[in-house]
Amino acid sequence: MKRALASLLIPTLLLAAVSCGSDNYHQDLPAPVGPVEEPEDPEDPGTPVDETPWDPTPTIDFTALGGTSKKIVDGVEWTSFHGKWEGQIRNINIVRTTLNEHNKLGIYFNYGTTYPNGYSPALKEGEDPRDLDKKCIYLDAVAGTNGPMACCQFVRVDGSIKKTPVSADDWIENCAITIDGDVVDIVKVKDNYDAAKLTNKTVGCAGPLLVWEGEIQKCSSDWLAADTDKWLTTTHPRTAIGLSKDGKTVVQVAVDGRWSKSGWPADQTAIGMSTELLGKLMRGLGCYKAMNFDGGGGTAMWVYGQGNARNIVNRVSENRWDWNGTTLRAAGNAVYIKSDLK
């Protein structure tokens, strides 16, 4: 009797042991043979996630390299550097602005020779109403640079289209700066037509994109093959703008170039940059996003009360034979800082 009862109980106890020993299997199923594989996490794409926090601290300090910095108004600082960086003599000017209730960023577009409301700029011989300094004075700005190319990059200002979209090289129309009151951003776009679809009140399309989410952007092989003029890789004068991650700090940069000739003194030499090196500069200045504007002879930076007689602080290459010259190239755009602390 006992032997028969035992024979009935043993299979039941074994089955119960299997059931209690694993939560992964229904008690009606036998335990599998071999290792148990954990189910995949549906939110884990299977690639490592970089959890390194964004460090906004600039890695390039031009004052430590011999440059000078000066406060223009509270929250607006101008830095000027002439010396060797990345193996070449550079002339670099930087305006760093903290955007707040006092300091605002704007874009002004006017490729004509007249201004609204009958305003007429004072002109000396050789000056043009379209010059950057004339725009900045009219705007009562504290700083400004040239912006998108007036000929071929979409611009909308305060809801009004100033330059309609046209077809252009891919690398000069792959990003845009957007401004909606106090909210400033740099966004990716496919081209000028894509930029025109943005709903922001103020949009300035340009390119190439230099820094995106902290990463320096590289020129694609297709771009390099199509760029027969080597515009991307040649050391030209450059103008750029960058933003901190929260969009509250704006970094405007003018890099001079084309100031090199056999026998010229070092203090009148300035080698420009490729777009990739310009991206390295902007990232080193702490930019989370950055983009390139028009450059070459149009690269200019105006700072209130600083620089030459026209308050131009960089060495414009439009007249590259006169280091201290004041000749500017007529500009359609001004990307400017306005402050009620002036």
CA 336, CA 340: separation in Å to the nearest integer?
13
What's residue 26's pLDDT?
Answer: 37
CA 141, CA 104: separation in Å to the nearest integer?
10
| Residue 139 · residue 131 · CB < 8 Å | no
What's residue 49's pLDDT?
Answer: 43
CA 294, CA 300: separation in Å to the nearest integer?
10
What's residue 178's pLDDT?
Answer: 98
Q: What is the 3-state secondary structure (H, E, C) of 61-81?
A: CCCCCCCEEEEEECCEEEEEE
Task: Give the number of other Cβ atoms within 10 Å of residue 339's Cβ.
Answer: 20
* Residue linked to tokens 């209130």: 304
Contacts of 109 (CB under 8 A, 6+ apart): 150, 155, 157, 162, 163, 332, 333
β strands within 147-268, DSSP E: 155-157, 160-163, 175-180, 183-188, 202-206, 209-212, 215-216, 238-243, 249-255
Low-confidence ranges of the chain (pLDDT < 50): 1-50
Is the bond preceding 165 in cis, omega lying within 30 degrees of 0?
A: no
CA 323, CA 286: separation in Å to the nearest integer?
30
CA 313, CA 72: separation in Å to the nearest integer?
13
Residue 240 phi, psi (nearest 5): -145, 165
How many Cα atoms within 13 Å fall on the side-chain side of residue 66? Answer: 9
CA 236, CA 256: separation in Å to the nearest integer?
8
Residue 312 is classified by DSSP as B
